[in-house]
Structure 1
Amino acid sequence: MALPRHFVVFILQLILVPLAFNLCNASHGLKNGFYRKTCPKVEAIVRKKTAEYISKAPTLAAPLLRMHFHDCAVRGCDASVLLNSTQNNQAERDAFPNQSLRGFQVINGVKSALEDKCPGVVSCADILALVARDVVSMIKGPHWKVPLGRRDGRVSIMDEALNLLPPPFANISSLKQQFASLGLNAKDLAVLSGGHTIGTAHCFSFSDRMYNFTGQGDTDPTMDPNYIAHLKKKCSPTDVTTIVEMDPGSFKTFDEKYYTLVAKRRGLLQSDAVLLDDIETKAYVKQQALTHGSTFFKDFGKSMVKMGKIGVLTGHAGEIRKHCDFVN
């Protein structure tokens, strides 16, 4: 089976297409305790329901965290990534970068539990933000306060996800540019990349680094040769099914080991490795590797809150979906 290179090339060509709307707009309307009167037990309900899934399948934590980022990076944090395609529209969910997302049943399960207690009150966008926080804390990661009050969007377009989500082989310049378009800086990039301490990646997302880095059948010179040899035992050049741990040995635990790996030139994806190509991101990687993640947990919570405010709909904008998979 051939590698889906046409998809990958298409993403790379379009990655820097300018946003057609302002994702860096104000987050007015988000606040802690937003549902204090309308659904006072919202966070307890979300955490309990999420724990039911994560206790049985801890590997869902990584795709659920990734789902929140993939949502916020396209049209802002409006739960547009959750919408199903229709006969007349292909939605974000079916874009190639989103086809590996898992855990939609968790979001729907949480939504159902909230609808039982507080019908028509809590948005799917807020659920995504809370679930992302909770799954991280459930696997020994940090816990942070999530400002709430997002509303759900009504539009989801597959091509926008293709255009705007960073590919695994992005260079540092394109990554910084895309994050800047979202109102996130170089430190946020380095911090949020630390989310790769959990989860897995398919071989095809990094196979060029092992087999054809510049199109000449060569390997990535920035990658530890011993790590390349290890990965070649797992992935053949045309492998599209095998998955590899992002953080070998602790990919189910949220910790600081990602930075130690990147510092040793063992970042799995090219987008991990290129953190060493920028003064600021490299300094952050080295600092966390040397200090065993002394500030990583605190930094991660701050960057997640910042990310969770991208392009939000508040007030009377959007809607509160009754079901997260389709508009009302």
Structure 2
Amino acid sequence: MLLSALLGVCLIPAHSKPAGEQLGSPLLQTCFEEAKKIVDDAYKYSREESLRRVRKEVVRPHDALRLLKQPRGGTRSAVRSADYMAQTLRLLQERVHHVHKRSLNVTDLLSEEDLNKLSEITGCASQVTFPSCRTTPNLNTYRTANSVCNNIKNPRLGSSNTPFARWLPAEYDDAISQPKGWDRTRRFNNFLLPTGYDVRQVSNNILSTTDAGVVNDREYTHMVTMFGQWNDHDLTFTPFSPSIRSFSNGINCDESCEKIEPCIPIPIPPGDPRLPTGRNSCIPAFRSAPVCGSGYSAFNFGGEPKKREQINALTAFLD
């Protein structure tokens, strides 16, 4: 039963829980309410700010593109649930660290009842629960638009708003969720990864060319590209969080080079031929939204931490 008296902020005094005692529902509910407010406020601000930007006389291409690619309907609900879950776990983790002063996973201190409650109140439980196909009308006559229950034995197979199927497992900085290069001190095969500048540098060195350097292909036309794009866009769409600012400190992703969810900026190298360079010069970029029940939130569904997966907002068949 959810608490009726909510504090609204995750600021319970440090002495309120003895070391080793399970975190109770009051703290869980309080942190969820704060996380919900953080996410909802970020969504509202981002929507209003994005509309304001595209209504100006001069519109930046990435602002227009981002607004056009905003998740909608069931996809937006799936992304919002994942953001609720991630931010609730972040606040709980900060509280655990404040109390215990050591590395400890927050879900180790939550009861099974609390874990189930967290899944329900964030909306993640409904995102991973298999639907009942018995109530779907005309199921044996017509396919469903979102592909749910088209396969009775595996109702979510190929349906929209489900994890991508992978040929190879994802690789992360912490083996679970952080992108490679997030921690600049982390080594791979005993080597540090190149600086973030190299991402843009690779683009400049390999993909850039002059008009005079463009040569017509003797066999293929641009229709090959269009054919591939039409197929790709009909099969896959990876949504990102609608927020254009960080959840933890409220900084706009295009105003800082700080790497903090959901911002993952690309630094611009010195002497870039097209873009302005400087101490805080970055190309704004945003992380794809996670799937509920992947990454660190896998704890809430009876599993160990597993690799963060991304959402495919479309069905896995050609329309």
> Structure 1 length as normaliser, TM-score?
0.22
Whichever structure has more helix as a proportion of its residues is: 1
TM-score by length of 2: 0.22
Whose radius of gyration is greater, 1 or 2?
2
* Higher-RCO chain (CA-CA 8 Å, sequence separation at least 6): 1
